[in-house]
Structure 1
Amino acid sequence: MSYRSTLSQLDIQTDQINNLSQSFWHIFNHFAVMESDVNEVLTVLTRNYRLVVITNGFISAQLPRMQAAVIEHFFQAVVVSEAIGFAKPSPEIFHHALSRLNLTLAQVLYVGHSLKHDYAGATQVKIDFCYYNRKNQNLPQEAKPNFMMSKLLNLLELFN
């Protein structure tokens, strides 16, 4: 059930729903809650590596959220599915990101938190994959990421 249908059932008027929707979207797009160690990890990695974001979503949401988190300066490129017409796990979004930075498959480690989108896409194009398993969930038997971590700071251990 969508929030619109929920609000309608509560007899909240359409103009109020639209105002609420616009307010929510504005807050969502301009607010970010950062996980601990993000800045440290990104600071260390950008010393020797070029970083790219590959995200499913909308340009109007992803870029302002990165700016709100003050992390956009760490990334050489941001590839947003809306902008290129392909979403993860489609191989095209990964190939687009590789071509933006003129990288080969062997030069890339893709870090992601979704087996459905990140792992599936990275493995389709044969990019090494590190699964950010922050909830320490058991993996399906068929999932075999190259690396796995439960804390973001552990990513730095892969590069020492």
Structure 2
Amino acid sequence: MYKSIFIDLDDTVWAFSENARDTFQDMYEKYHFDRYFDSFCQFYAIYSERNEELWAAYGAGKISKEELNDLRFSYPLQQVGVEDKDLVKAYSDNFFAEIMYKKKTMPHAREALEYLSAKYKLYIISNGFRELQEQKMRSAGVEKYFKKVVLSEDIGVHKPFPEIFYFAMSATQSELRTSLMIGDNWKNDIAGAKGAGIDQIYYNTKGDEDFPFRATYVINDWEEVMGIL
């Protein structure tokens, strides 16, 4: 039934949340942020809430990549009264230099990719930045499973807009009716794929129970994919 499988990278294959938290912990200690915050948990909670809002704005085309990165890294320090552009630049540059070498993947993702790559053509489709995504895949040792990486930067359109899915079809010589999208983000991956006419597997990492519509398939663990495909 399917020939091409498109897979989101962050928090679907590569464990972005864990790897990012680990990297921020490194930055917190290296730059002695305990001077400004009661704890790492306080710093990371402030960062995380604003980061989600800014990524939504970036996805909607309201801010640029440069604005996204400047705002999200400066925000936590500003909330404790610290205005230091040199410090923000140093720790943000260091963050990007380190995070791409983190290796954690989602549970059972490797086993599932090994299984799927023997039967289907696998592709990454992501809103992330090319300079990071490809290295993250290499660091985690998963790049060998994928035929191509399709990124929103390639055409200036982000998931969930259908144009990026149509572009992915063209770039990989795939067809909508024989393609499948796997991702952890309901709006970007599942609603986006459905809007483009592509079947979906929702990787339900958050234990959601209330869905706006029925996805083609829902899994809570990568192991379940092998019972579907």
Normalising by structure 2, we get a TM-score of: 0.65
Cα deviation for residue 101 of structure 1 reads 2.1
Give the distance between the partners of 1:100 and 1:15, measured in 2 at CA: 40
2:163 paired residue number: 92
Question: Identity of aligned pairs, percent?
Answer: 29
Aligned residue for 1:24? 95
Q: Deviations over 1:3-52 (max 9, x none)?
A: 41332445363322211111111112222321221111111111110001
The structure whose residues are more often helix, as a share, is 2
Paired position in structure 1 for 2:203: 132
User: What is the correspondence of 1:56-135 to structure 2 with a 5 Å cutoff?
Assistant: 56-135=127-206
Deviation at 1:90, TM superposition (A): 1.1
**Aligned pairs, how many?**
158
What residue ranges of structure 1 are gaps of 5+ in the alignment? none
Q: What is the CA–CA distance in structure 2 between the aligned matches of 1:133 and 1:61, rounded to whole Å?
A: 24
Give a deviation string over 1:115-156, Cα, whole Å, max 9, x none: 11111211111111111112221123x221011010111011
Q: Provide the aligned C-alpha RMSD in A.
A: 1.6
Greater shift, 10-19 or 96-105, is seen at: 10-19
1:135-154 to 2 correspondences below 5 Å? 135-140=206-211, 142-154=212-224
* Aligned-residue offset at 1:62: 1.0
2:112 maps to 1:41: yes
1:35-87 CA deviation, whole Å, 9 max, x = no partner? 22111111111111000111002111211111111111110111011122111
Long gaps (5+) in structure 2 = 1-49, 51-71
TM-score by length of 1: 0.90
Give the aligned residue type for 2:216. N
